[in-house]
C-alpha cells in the first residue's frame, strides 16, 4: 500500500509539474485559426488593417560547426496582396523581392536570380514564412502549418510547424510580438537557427505609392 | 414441295446452330469496346512507334484528374479531402492521390550514395562554362538572405546546394502546379484548385468498366459539392470521354433501333395488311442481327459500340428482301403462290443482296479495324436476313395473295403514267445514253474538285460540349496539359538510349528557355547516363573539390575551420558508385517516370531500349521537328497528324476504288444487256454519286474518307434499282413500289445515322441518304422507256 501511495504521489507530482515544463515551449499549446484570431485579434488589430509595413531588421544565423554567428542587416517593405521586398545592406547589398508568383534577386540593379513559383515549390515556403511574419492570416497559415500559441510576458508567441510533406530543411518557426511582430526564429532540421529581429516598424493604412510598387516589377 | 421442305430444314438447322452459338458463346460474354484507338488503322510505319503510342494511351487512359477549387484554401482543402475519401471508398480505383508523397526518404535512398556524380541541368551549365564561382556566390547569399529557405537541404549538409538542386529537379511538377504543403495546387484568380488523381487497374474502354467508373465519379463529385457548398470539382480523363461516348452510342442505338422497328411495323402492316408478313420480316431481321452479333463476337476480340450504332442501319437494308418477296403477290394476283415467288424474285433478291454486300466488301479492303467490323456486321446481317427470306418464307408465307391493293401501288401506278415518265427515255433514244453519262460524270468531277475535303482526326471523334468545356478549363488552370505529341528515343543499350535522350534534352532545354515549349518529362533527368555521371564527377573534382576550389573558399567565407573544410573535401568520393537503370527502376522514387521507360515494349520487338520524352505546352512545332531531323536516335511522334495523313491516303484509295467499281459494273452490265442498255443502266448509279458530290460541294459540307466509302455503299444498293426496274419491266408499278418502299426504309435508317453525334457515322448516313435518293429518281426517270405499257 505504501509503495502504491508513493507511485500515486510521484504521478501527481509529475502531472502537477507538466504545465510548468510546458511553459518552456510554444509547441506544447496547439491552437486553431479561430482561437488565434480571438486571442491575438485585439493585440494585432492595427496590423490587420495595415496596407504596408516597413522597417529595419537584423538577422543572426547560427550554423552548426561554425563558432561565430553570421550577421546581416537591412530593411524591408511589405505591401499587402503584392509582396515583400527584403533589402540586405550589410555585409553586402542585395535585394530579394517575393511575390506570390516570382522570386527575384537583384544585386547592383542586376537580376541574379529569377524563380517562378510554378517551377520551384520552395518559393511558396519562403513566401509563406513572410506571410506568417507580416499578414498573420491564420486561415492561410493553417493550410500549411500546424499552429501553436501561448502568451508570454508582455506579448504572445505563435508556433508554426510544417505539415507532413512540406519537407525541406525547415523544422519550425516561432513568431513573437506585441502589437506587431518583433521577432522570428526559424529552426532548420539540422539545428541551424536563423533569428530575425524587426525594428522601427511603421504601419500605414494607405496603399503603397508608385515608388514602392516599382521594386515589385520583375 | 420436297425442295421447299429441304430449304426450310436447312434454314431451321442453321438458325438452331446460330441460336446455340449465341446462347452459349455470346450472350452475356460480349465485350463492347469504346476506345476509338481500337477502331483506327495502324497508322505508323514503325511497329515500335505504334506500340509506344498504345502503351502511352493505355497509361493515360487509366488516369483521371480532378481539380477541386474554392474561394479560400481551407474550403478547397476540405472538399479535396472529401472527394479523395469518396473516391477511395467506392473501391473502383486502384489508387487515389491527394497528398503528394514527395518521399524525401525514398529520394535519398536512391540518390544519396551517388550524389558525387549527380548535378542539376543548371549547375551542369555553370560547370561546363567553368563558372563554379557562381555556386559559391549563391551559397553565401543564401546565408545572409532569405533565399537560403529556397534550398531543399540545410547549408551544413549541402553548402553549395549541388545535391539539393538535383533533387529539386525531380519534383513531379508541370505547368502551373505548385506543391503547397503536401498537395499540388493550381492557383487561379478564383482561388486555389487542388489536384486529386485517381488511377484504375482496369481497361477504361470496356463498356462495363467505364460505365461503373463514371457513376462512381459522378457520385463522388455530387457528394463533395453537397458537403462543401461553394466548392467546384472539375474532372478530366479518358474514362469520362469513354463513358460519354458510350452513353451517346447506347442512346443512339436504342433510338435508331426502335424508330426503325416502328417504321418497319407500320410499313409492312399498311402495305400487306396481314400479321404473317410482319412476323416473318421481324424473324428475318432478328436472324440477321443475331448472326451479325455472333460473327463479330467470334471474329473480333471486342465489338465496338460504333459498329453496333452503324449496324442499326441493317434493319433498313435487310428489310428490302422481305418487301420484294411479299410485293410479288400484287404482281401475279391470280396465279400467285409462295413457291413461284422464289422463281420470280429469288434471283433478283440474291443479285441485289450480292451487290449490296459487294459495297460493304469494299470497306473490308482497307486495313481499318473499325470499318472492317462494320462491314462484317452488315454483310453477315444481310446474308442472314436474305437467307431467311429465300429459305424460310416459302414454307411460312401466306398461301393466297392479299385481296387489297396497297396505297403505295396506286401511287406508283399513277406515277408510271405521268407524261415526264417518258421525257428522259425519249431523249436517250435520240442521242444515246453517252452524252448524259458524260454530263453527269462531269458534274461529279466538278463536285469532287469543289468539295472541301477535311481529312482530320476530328472526323472520328465526338465529345459533348460540356466535357470539351471542362477539359479546356482544366487545361487553362494547369497551364496546358500533356501534349499528344512526344519524342521516342532509341538505343541499342540502356546507356545509348539515355545518352541520346540527354542530347535531345539539351535541345529541349533551349526551347523551354525561349518559351517555345512549356516543359517536358524525361527519364534521363532522374537517371543520367553513366557517361554524364562520370563527367559530372570529373567537373566536380576539378572545379569544386580541388584544393582551393569553390567549396574550400565558400566554407572558409562562412567561418568554417580548416579542419572542417579538409574533412568535407575528404568525404568527396574519388570513384563514386554510379546510378544504373536497374537500381533506378527498382526504387519507389522512380514511379512517376517509369511509364516513360519502354524497355518492355522495345525488347520484344528486338529494338533494344526505348524511352519516351513527353511534352507539354508546344508552341513552336517546327523547332521540335527540327530536333527530330538533327538527332537520328530521337523521333518526333505526331499521332494526330499521322492519322490525318492516313485518312487522306485511304480517301485517295477509296476514290480510285470507286472509279474502278464504276468501270467494272459498267462492263458487267454492258456484257449482260448489250452496250446501249448497259450504259443506260449506269445513268442512275453514276448520277447518284455525281449529284451527291455536287450537293456536298454546293452546301459546303466538308467531306472525308467516309463520304467516299458511303458512295461505294450507294453504288452497291443503287445498281440493283436499275437492274430491278429493267428485269421487272413487265410489272413496272409493282417493282417501283417494292423499290420505293425498300428505298424509304434505307433512307430512314441511314437518315437516322445522319443524326448521330459521331461525325464519321453522320458522314456515312448523310451521303447514303443523298446518294440513294438521287439514284432512285434517276433510275425511275431513265428506265421509263422500258415500260412496254400503253404505247
- The verdict on a CB contact (< 8 Å) between A91 and B560 is no
Angle between helical axes of B705-727 and B759-782 (0-180°, round to 10): 30
Q: How many CB pairs under 8 A join A and B?
A: 133
* pLDDT tens track for B579-589: 999 999 999 88
Please compute the mean of the pLDDT values over residues B266-285 and round it to a whole number. 89
Please compute the mean of the pLDDT values over residues B742-761 and round it to a whole number. 87
* pLDDT tens track for B488-528: 999 999 999 999 999 999 999 999 888 888 889 899 999 99
* pLDDT tens track for B128-177: 998 888 899 888 888 888 777 777 777 878 889 999 889 888 875 666 77
Are B179 and B100 spatial neighbours (Cβ–Cβ below 8 Å)? yes
| pLDDT value for B117 | 94
Query: B565 CB contacts (<8 Å, ≥6 apart)?
Result: B551, B552, B555, B556
Nearest to A134 by CA among A208, A71, A81: A81
Q: What is the spatial distance between Cα B329 and Cα B307, in angstroms, rounded to a whole number? A: 36
- The verdict on a CB contact (< 8 Å) between A105 and B74 is no
| pLDDT value for A19 | 41
Query: pLDDT: is B31 or B566 the higher one?
Result: B566
Give me the percent of chain B exceeding a pLDDT of 90. 28
- The verdict on a CB contact (< 8 Å) between B560 and A125 is no
- The verdict on a CB contact (< 8 Å) between B564 and A65 is yes
Q: Which residues of B494-506 are buried (b: 16+ CB within 10 A; e: fewer)?
A: bbbbbbbbbbbbe
| pLDDT value for B646 | 85
B301 CB burial (10 A radius; 0-12, 13-18, 19+): exposed
Q: Report domain extents, chain A.
A: 1-25, 31-214
Nearest to B164 by CA among A27, A188, A41: A188
B513 grid coordinates: 528557355
Q: If you search the block for the grid coordinates 505548385, which residue do you land on?
A: B178
Q: Which residues of B77-106 are buried (b: 16+ CB within 10 A; e: fewer)?
A: bbbbbbbbebbbebebbeebbbbbebbeee
Considering the domain delimited by A31-214, tell me its CATH architecture. Clam (2.50)
Q: Which residue of B has its CA nearest to A171?
A: B154
Q: What global pTM score does this model have?
A: 0.75
Query: pLDDT: is A74 or B428 the higher one?
Result: A74
E strand map for B57-214: 63-69, 95-97, 178-180, 183-186, 193-199
Q: Compute φ and ψ for A140, nearest 5 degrees.
A: -70, -40
* pLDDT tens track for B318-374: 888 898 888 888 877 777 777 778 887 888 888 888 888 888 887 788 888 888 898
Cα B132 from chain centre: 52
- The verdict on a CB contact (< 8 Å) between B144 and A94 is yes
Instruction: Give the pLDDT of chain A (218 residues) as one tens digit per residue.
Output: 344 444 444 444 444 434 444 446 888 888 888 888 888 877 777 777 888 889 999 999 998 888 889 999 999 998 888 888 999 998 888 898 988 778 888 888 788 878 776 666 667 667 767 776 777 878 778 877 889 988 888 888 999 888 765 456 678 889 988 878 888 898 888 788 899 999 888 888 888 888 888 888 76
Those of residues 555-614 in B touching chain A at CB distance below 8 A are 558-561, 564
How close is the nearest chain A Cα to the Cα of B144, in Å?
A: 6
Lowest mean pLDDT among B5-19, B136-150, B215-229: B136-150
Q: Compute φ and ψ for A83, nearest 5 degrees.
A: 155, -170
Q: What is the spatial distance between Cα B638 and Cα B581, in angstroms, rounded to a whole number? A: 28
Please compute the mean of the pLDDT values over residues B459-475 and round it to a whole number. 84
- Pick among B72, B168, B175, B181 to test the A interface (most A CBs inside 10 A): B181
DSSP helix/strand/coil, B229: coil
Please compute the mean of the pLDDT values over residues B647-665 and round it to a whole number. 86
Q: Residues B529, B534, B540, CA angle at the centre, nearest 5°?
A: 125
B747 grid coordinates: 433512307
B667 CB burial (10 A radius; 0-12, 13-18, 19+): exposed
Those of residues 197-216 in A touching chain B at CB distance below 8 A are none
For the cut 50, the answer to whether the pLDDT of residue B486 exceeds it is yes
Are B375 and B365 spatial neighbours (Cβ–Cβ below 8 Å)? no
Q: Which residue of A has its CA nearest to B182?
A: A165
* pLDDT tens track for B102-113: 667 788 889 989
Are B609 and B602 spatial neighbours (Cβ–Cβ below 8 Å)? yes
Contacts of A33 in chain B (CB under 8 A): 74
Q: ipTM value of the model?
A: 0.80
| Peptide bond connecting A91 to the previous residue in cis, omega within 30 degrees of 0 | yes
Contacts of A167 in chain B (CB under 8 A): 102, 104, 152
Sheet holding B634-637, edge to edge: B517-521, B609-618, B482-491, B634-637
- Pick among A143, A144, A166, A171 to test the B interface (most B CBs inside 10 A): A143
How close is the nearest chain A Cα to the Cα of B77, in Å?
A: 8
For the cut 90, the answer to whether the pLDDT of residue B590 exceeds it is no
Amino acid at each position: 500500500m505504501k509503495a502504491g501511495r508513493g507511485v500515486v504521489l510521484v504521478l501527481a507530482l509529475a502531472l502537477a509539474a507538466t504545465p510548468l515544463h510546458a511553459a518552456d515551449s510554444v509547441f506544447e499549446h496547439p491552437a486553431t485559426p479561430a482561437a488565434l484570431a480571438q486571442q491575438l485579434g485585439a493585440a494585432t488589430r492595427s496590423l490587420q488593417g495595415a496596407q504596408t509595413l516597413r522597417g529595419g531588421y537584423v538577422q543572426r544565423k547560427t550554423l552548426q560547426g561554425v563558432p561565430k554567428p553570421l550577421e546581416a542587416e537591412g530593411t524591408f517593405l511589405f505591401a499587402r496582396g503584392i509582396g515583400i521586398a527584403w533589402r540586405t545592406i550589410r555585409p553586402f547589398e542585395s535585394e530579394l523581392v517575393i511575390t506570390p508568383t516570382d522570386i527575384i534577386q537583384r544585386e547592383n540593379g542586376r537580376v541574379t536570380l529569377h524563380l517562378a513559383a510554378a517551377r520551384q515549390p520552395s518559393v511558396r515556403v519562403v513566401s509563406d514564412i513572410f506571410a506568417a511574419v507580416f499578414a498573420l492570416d491564420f486561415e492561410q497559415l493553417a493550410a500549411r502549418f500546424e499552429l501553436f500559441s501561448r502568451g508570454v510576458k508582455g506579448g504572445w508567441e505563435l508556433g508554426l510547424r510544417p505539415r507532413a510533406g512540406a519537407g525541406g530543411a525547415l523544422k519550425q518557426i516561432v513568431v513573437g510580438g506585441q502589437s506587431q511582430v518583433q521577432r522570428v526564429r526559424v529552426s532548420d532540421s539540422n539545428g541551424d537557427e536563423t533569428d530575425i529581429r524587426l525594428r522601427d516598424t511603421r504601419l500605414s493604412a494607405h496603399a503603397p505609392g508608385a515608388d514602392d510598387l516599382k521594386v515589385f516589377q520583375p | 414441295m420436297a425442295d421447299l421442305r429441304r430449304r426450310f430444314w436447312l434454314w431451321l438447322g442453321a438458325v438452331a446452330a446460330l441460336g446455340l452459338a449465341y446462347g452459349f458463346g455470346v450472350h452475356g460474354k460480349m465485350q463492347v469496346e469504346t476506345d476509338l484507338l481500337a477502331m483506327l488503322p495502324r497508322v505508323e510505319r514503325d511497329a515500335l512507334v505504334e506500340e509506344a503510342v498504345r502503351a502511352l494511351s493505355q497509361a493515360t487512359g487509366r488516369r483521371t484528374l480532378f481539380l477541386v477549387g474554392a474561394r479560400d484554401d481551407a474550403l478547397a482543402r476540405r472538399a479535396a479531402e472529401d472527394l479523395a475519401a469518396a473516391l477511395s471508398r467506392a473501391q473502383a480505383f486502384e489508387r487515389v492521390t491527394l497528398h503528394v508523397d514527395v518521399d524525401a526518404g525514398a529520394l535519398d535512398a536512391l540518390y544519396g550514395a551517388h550524389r558525387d556524380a549527380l548535378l542539376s541541368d543548371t549547375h551542369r551549365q555553370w560547370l561546363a562554362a567553368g563558372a563554379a564561382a557562381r555556386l559559391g556566390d549563391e551559397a553565401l547569399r543564401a546565408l545572409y538572405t532569405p533565399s537560403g529557405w529556397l534550398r531543399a537541404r540545410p547549408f551544413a549538409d549541402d553548402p553549395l546546394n549541388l545535391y539539393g538542386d538535383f533533387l529539386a529537379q525531380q519534383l513531379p511538377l508541370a505547368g502551373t502546379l505548385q506543391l503547397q504543403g503536401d498537395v499540388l495546387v493550381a492557383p487561379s484568380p478564383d482561388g486555389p484548385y487542388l489536384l486529386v488523381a485517381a488511377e484504375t487497374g482496369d481497361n477504361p474502354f470496356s463498356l462495363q468498366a467505364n460505365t461503373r467508373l463514371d457513376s462512381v465519379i459522378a457520385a463522388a463529385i455530387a457528394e463533395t459539392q453537397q458537403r462543401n457548398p461553394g466548392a467546384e470539382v472539375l474532372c478530366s480523363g479518358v474514362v469520362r470521354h469513354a463513358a460519354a461516348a458510350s452513353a451517346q452510342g447506347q442512346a443512339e442505338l436504342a433510338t435508331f433501333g426502335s424508330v426503325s422497328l416502328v417504321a418497319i411495323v407500320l410499313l409492312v402492316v399498311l402495305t400487306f395488311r396481314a400479321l404473317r408478313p410482319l412476323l416473318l420480316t421481324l424473324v428475318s431481321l432478328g436472324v440477321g442481327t443475331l448472326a451479325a452479333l455472333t460473327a463479330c463476337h467470334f471474329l473480333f476480340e471486342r465489338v465496338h459500340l460504333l459498329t453496333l450504332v452503324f449496324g442499326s442501319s441493317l434493319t433498313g437494308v435487310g428489310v428490302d428482301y422481305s418487301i420484294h418477296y411479299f410485293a410479288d403477290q400484287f404482281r401475279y394476283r391470280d396465279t400467285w403462290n409462295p413457291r413461284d415467288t422464289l422463281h420470280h424474285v429469288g434471283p433478283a433478291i440474291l443479285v441485289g443482296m450480292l451487290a449490296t454486300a459487294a459495297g460493304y466488301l469494299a470497306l473490308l479492303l482497307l486495313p481499318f479495324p473499325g470499318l472492317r467490323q462494320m462491314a462484317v456486321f452488315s454483310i453477315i446481317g444481310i446474308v442472314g436476313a436474305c437467307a431467311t427470306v429465300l429459305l424460310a418464307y416459302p414454307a411460312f408465307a401466306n398461301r393466297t395473295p392479299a385481296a387489297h391493293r396497297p396505297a403505295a401501288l396506286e401511287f406508283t401506278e399513277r406515277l408510271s403514267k405521268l407524261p415526264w415518265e417518258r421525257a428522259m427515255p425519249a431523249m436517250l433514244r435520240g442521242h444515246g445514253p453517252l452524252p448524259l453519262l458524260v454530263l453527269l460524270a462531269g458534274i461529279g468531277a466538278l463536285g469532287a474538285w469543289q468539295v472541301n475535303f477535311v481529312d482530320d482526326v476530328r472526323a472520328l471523334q465526338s465529345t459533348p460540349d460540356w466535357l470539351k468545356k471542362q477539359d479546356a478549363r482544366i487545361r487553362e488552370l494547369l497551364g496546358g496539359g500533356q501534349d499528344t505529341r512526344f519524342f521516342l528515343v532509341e538505343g541499342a543499350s540502356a546507356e545509348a538510349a539515355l545518352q541520346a535522350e540527354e542530347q535531345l534534352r539539351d535541345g529541349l532545354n533551349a526551347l523551354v528557355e525561349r518559351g517555345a515549349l512549356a516543359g517536358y518529362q524525361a527519364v534521363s533527368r532522374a537517371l543520367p547516363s553513366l557517361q554524364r555521371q562520370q563527367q559530372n564527377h570529373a567537373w566536380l573534382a576539378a572545379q569544386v573539390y580541388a584544393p582551393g576550389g569553390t567549396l574550400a573558399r565558400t566554407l572558409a567565407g562562412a567561418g568554417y575551420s580548416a579542419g572542417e573544410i579538409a574533412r568535407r573535401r575528404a568525404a568527396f568520393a574519388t570513384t563514386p558508385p554510379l546510378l544504373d537503370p536497374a537500381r533506378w527502376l527498382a526504387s519507389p522514387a522512380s514511379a512517376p517516370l517509369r511509364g516513360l521507360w519502354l524497355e518492355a515494349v522495345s525488347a520484344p520487338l528486338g529494338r533494344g531500349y526505348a524511352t519516351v520524352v513527353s511534352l507539354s505546352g508546344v508552341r513552336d512545332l517546327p523547332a521540335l521537328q527540327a530536333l527530330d531531323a538533327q538527332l537520328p536516335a530521337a523521333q518526333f511522334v505526331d499521332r494526330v497528324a499521322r492519322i490525318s495523313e492516313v485518312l487522306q491516303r485511304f480517301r485517295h484509295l477509296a476514290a480510285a476504288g470507286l472509279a474502278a467499281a464504276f468501270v467494272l459494273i459498267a462492263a458487267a452490265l454492258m456484257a449482260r444487256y448489250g452496250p446501249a442498255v448497259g450504259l443506260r443502266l449506269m445513268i442512275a448509279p453514276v448520277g447518284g454519286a455525281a449529284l451527291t458530290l455536287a450537293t456536298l460541294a454546293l452546301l459546303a459540307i466538308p467531306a472525308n474518307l467516309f463520304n467516299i466509302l458511303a458512295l461505294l455503299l450507294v453504288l452497291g444498293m443503287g445498281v440493283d434499282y436499275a437492274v430491278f426496274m429493267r428485269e421487272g419491266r413487265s410489272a413496272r408499278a409493282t417493282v417501283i413500289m417494292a423499290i420505293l418502299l425498300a428505298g424509304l426504309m434505307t433512307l430512314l435508317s441511314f437518315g437516322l445515322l445522319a443524326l448521330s453525334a459521331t461525325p464519321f457515322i453522320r458522314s456515312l448516313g448523310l451521303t447514303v441518304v443523298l446518294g440513294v435518293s438521287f439514284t432512285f429518281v434517276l433510275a425511275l426517270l431513265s428506265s421509263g422507256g422500258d415500260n412496254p405499257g400503253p404505247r
